[in-house]
Amino acid sequence: MMDSGLKALEAVLAIARKGSFRAAALDLGVSTTALSHTVARLEAGLGVRLFHRTTRSVALTEAGREFVARIAPALTEIRAALETVRSQRATPSGMLRINASVQAGRAVAPLVLAFLRRYPEMRVDLVTEGRLLDIVAEGFDMGIRPADLVPRDMIALPLGLPVRHAVVASPDWLVRHPEPRSPADLDPDACLRVRLPNGALLRWPFQKDGVPLPFEASGRLTVDEAAIARAAVLDGAGIGYFIEADVAEDIAAGRMIRLLEDWTPNRPGFSLYYSGRRNPSAGFTAFLAMAREREAA
């Protein structure tokens, strides 16, 4: 009964946070129908409607807003209490939720798989997305992002090697335009703009002989997803700035030509980050220990 009651409260918070039953169901790993029934049973028990529902939208009622405001901090305390109890177990178990960029998710995947092999009672929910979110508010145990995007109020742990970037264009584009020999040769209007997970536009961080030379791209296309930028460059839309791993195969196959390689030095790599205001579970502590082992190796 206690477990089902907590799940119902978690369901209400997830719907309020995500703004739809479908998105909340995906977040919780249940069907939309099951989630709808859970909330309906809670509303019936309370005798109060928590959500206004239409075929297109979901919104909290006035009673729902007050309910969410009261239960959110209480559930945070309950989660902390449960984590404190679980931390006393000799063998880590339960769920670890990690939020990462797509590239960071690929980088951490070997560590996650090694962790699951070592601790067979653990489960990991690895969510990859472009936007930089509040991992505490969204119910994640930790996040993984480039070191320079880690929020300042978080504890960060470097995960390994620096990241290399690549400036590229398609062979067809270079047939129609002169190849730049330095950042000063770049036409800003010919360069794709990149929106970072925190919403800021990337200033291409060129550097040579220790001297930084940031560059402002002002092309007509702005993207926040590497796969879209890659498709645009292959289509001849202009010059793109990428994490090297995202276009390494295209460079090797000749589909893209690398430019200004001596102006793109290594950048800080990915960092794992988490809030210090928590009682860590045994699984959380074990994952951090494995991350530190890998960093020290």
Say yes or no to pLDDT of 12 above 60.
yes
Element spanning 286, H or E = helix 282-296
Say yes or no to pLDDT of 81 above 80.
no
Residue 280 has a pLDDT of: 78
Residues in the chain: 297
Residue 266 has a pLDDT of: 81
Say yes or no to pLDDT of 34 above 60.
yes
Domain 2-86, CATH class in plain words: mainly alpha
- Per-domain boundaries in the chain: 2-86, 94-161+269-296, 165-263
What single DSSP character describes residue 239?
B
Common-topology check for domains 2-86 and 165-263: no
Query: Chain-wide mean pLDDT for the chain?
Result: 88
Pick the range with the lowest mean pLDDT from 41-55, 70-84, 163-177, 256-270. Answer: 70-84
Query: Do residues 204 and 214 make contact, with C-beta atoms less than 8 angstroms apart?
Result: yes
Residue-wise pLDDT for 40-51, tens only, equals: 999 999 999 999
Say yes or no to pLDDT of 142 above 90.
yes
Confidence grade of residue 233 (pLDDT, cut at 50, 70, 90): very high
Q: What is the CATH number of domain 94-161+269-296?
A: 3.40.190.10
Residue-wise pLDDT for 152-204, tens only, equals: 889 999 887 778 899 999 999 999 999 999 999 999 999 999 998 778 899 99
User: What's the rounded Cα separation, in Å, for the pair 289 and 292?
Assistant: 5
User: What's the rounded Cα separation, in Å, for the pair 158 and 237?
Assistant: 35
Residue 141 has a pLDDT of: 93
Question: Over the Cα atoms of the chain, what is R_g?
Answer: 23
Q: For residue 193, give the 3-state DSSP assignment.
A: strand
For range 14-24, the mean pLDDT: 89
What single DSSP character describes residue 16?
H
Say yes or no to pLDDT of 2 above 50.
no
Of the CATH numbers 3.30.43.10, 3.40.50.300, 3.90.79.10, 3.40.190.290, which one belongs to the domain with range 165-263?
3.40.190.290
In terms of phi and psi (left: phi > 0; alpha: psi -120 to 50; beta: otherwise), the region of 225 is: beta
Q: What percent of the chain has pLDDT over 90?
A: 50
pTM passes above 0.95:
no
Q: Tell me which of 128 and 281 has the higher pLDDT.
A: 128
Residue 4 has a pLDDT of: 59
Question: What is the residue type of 147?
Answer: A
Say yes or no to pLDDT of 65 above 70.
yes
